[in-house]
Amino acid sequence: MKSNDQWSSRFGFILASAGSAIGLGALWKFPYMAGTNGGGAFFLIFLLFTFLVGAPMLLAEFVIGRHSQQNAVSSYEKISGNPSWKWLGYLGVIASFIILSFYSVIGGWVITYLVRSFSGSLTGLPNSRYEQLFGDIIGSPATSLLTQALFLAITVAIVQFGIQKGIETASRYMMPALFVLFLVLVVRSLSLDGAMEGVAFFLQPDLSKLTAEGVLDALGQSFFALSVGISLMVTYSSYLDKSANLTGSVISVVGLNVLISFLAGLAIFPAVFAFGFEPTEGPGLIFTVLPAVFNQMALGGLFFTVFMALLLFATLTSAFSLMEIIVSTVTRGADNRKKVSWIAGLFVFVLGIPSALSFGVLADVSVFGRSIFDMMDFLASNLLMPIGALLISIFVSKKMKRTILESEVMMSSKAGQVIFPLWYGLIRFVVPAAIIIVLITSLLSY
């Protein structure tokens, strides 16, 4: 392996995998999913799935990648000795294409909001204007496609330089900054008049509000937010050497992700109720609520611009990881990284066009009762990711020896010795059972 392909430090790897995990999933999707699925009940189920299913899956992917030292496609083939398993790797690449195709649409919205906040055109408006403004922005085909293309171009431009320079350096500074700004936002939101109603909505579970579809959404969200189920973390951890502590990395990534989701809920819901917005607003939730919160702050316009810049960054680090898995699978060590990156970017853009237009000219088109955008998200997060995770959990329990798993989990980690038996039970029984039950129940209730 070229030295260029090794992480410069364990910290670099954690930052990059946290950078992949933390993005629109926690900051944009989580609040709107919680809002449409009853608030506290969704949060509770999401936490259960994250700890009992998502976190064990993350460790499973780390173990596979670090053990095989190969990208996802080759990992499965090499470990099992059976070429059919490489399709599990390809499933991940296909899912990455789909995810990036709609992820880049939201990335484009973030760019638009960043530019607009910079020009000052988002500050000082009455709260009721923000919903309409959002509708105008996403409804415009030219703006949507242009910003989506721009978002992808930035992603490709950075990914083509290879993993270390591209991803790690950038993650190091921006994520902590985003975190701090989020704390400020939470404090402001919690101190609004009427904030407590939002806190209750978010933190008091009312299980009667939960539907079978909501439970599948929560499962999908736990995978989406941790970037698991599509073997991306297999490829990422293949760059790790044997001294890395896998359980410690899982704890950091899961902990950070849950914390950011929690803060996102605390920033959004108090403001939703204080300002009279609807929690069920859907994909536009943060884009209509956050400008209104920043409006209530001293220097709100400036903070909003900084926030959008950091959100864009968090979104990009997730997009890099998706692009990276595509590029590393296609190039397989050949020297055509640059060309492959740009061609892949073009494919993703074309695939994303219907999603981008589904808020405007294609708004009336529905597939199985969903907009095109929602359908792509559903396909990736609620079908492909759970199915991928199910197969990965089966792969780990059927194709990898217990002794190998044990040594990978325990290596360089005291916590690993305690965690291993627990994880081994979860990944063999709880993870597959939970996925099968949730998938079947919710698909039957359709």
**Contacting residues toward ligand PFF, per CB under 6 A:** 20-21, 23-26, 99, 224-225, 227, 230, 232, 318, 321-322
Q: Are 213 and 33 in contact (CB under 8 A)?
A: no
In the bound complex, what is the minimum distance in angstroms from residue 17's beta carbon to ligand PFF? Answer: 10
The C-alpha atoms of residue 401 and residue 134 are separated, in whole angstroms, by 52
CB atoms near residue 345 (< 10 Å): 25
Q: How far apart are CA 19 and CA 158, in angstroms?
A: 14
**Closest separation in Å from C-beta 124 to ligand PFF:** 30
Residue closer to ligand PFF (CB basis): 57 or 405: 57
| 292: number of Cβ within 10 Å | 25
Residue type, 223: F
At its nearest, how many Å lie between ligand PFF and the CB of residue 319?
A: 8
Q: Which helix or strand (DSSP H or E) is residue 212 part of?
A: helix 212-226
Please state, in angstroms and rounded to a whole number, the distance separating the CA atoms of residues 28 and 158.
23
Closest separation between CB of residue 428 and ligand PFF, Å? 23
Phi, psi of 267, deg, nearest 5: -80, -35
Which is nearer to ligand PFF, 224 or 359 (by Cβ)? 224
Contacts of 109 (CB under 8 A, 6+ apart): 137, 138, 144, 147, 287
Q: Is residue 113 within 8 Å of residue 286, measured between CB atoms?
A: no
CA distance 111 to 150: 9
Q: Least distance (Å) from ligand PFF to the CB of residue 170?
A: 16
What's the residue count for the chain?
Answer: 446
Nearer to ligand PFF, 53 or 410 (CB): 53
Q: How many CB atoms lie within 10 A of CB 68?
A: 19
Task: Give the Cα separation of 153 and 149 in Å (integer).
Answer: 6
Query: Which lies closer to ligand PFF via its Cβ, residue 44 or residue 226?
Result: 226
> For ligand PFF, which is the closer residue by CB, 25 or 301?
25
Intra-chain end-to-end CA distance of the chain, in Å: 48
Instruction: Give dist(CA 309, CA 221) in Å, integer.
Output: 24
Q: Which is nearer to ligand PFF, 174 or 230 (CB)?
A: 230
Where does 255-374 show beta strands of DSSP type E?
366-367, 370-371
Q: Which is nearer to ligand PFF, 25 or 291 (CB)?
A: 25
Nearer to ligand PFF, 181 or 254 (CB): 254
Give me the least distance between CB of 96 and ligand PFF, in Å please: 6
In whole angstroms, how close is the CB of 211 to ligand PFF at the nearest point? 23
Q: In angstroms, give the least distance from the CB of 66 to ligand PFF.
A: 18
Query: Based on CB atoms, which residue is closest to ligand PFF, 23 or 31?
Result: 23
Which residue, 155, 84, 58, 2, is CA-closest to 385? 58
C-beta nearest to ligand PFF: residue: 25
Q: How far is the CB of 160 from ligand PFF (least distance, A)?
A: 18
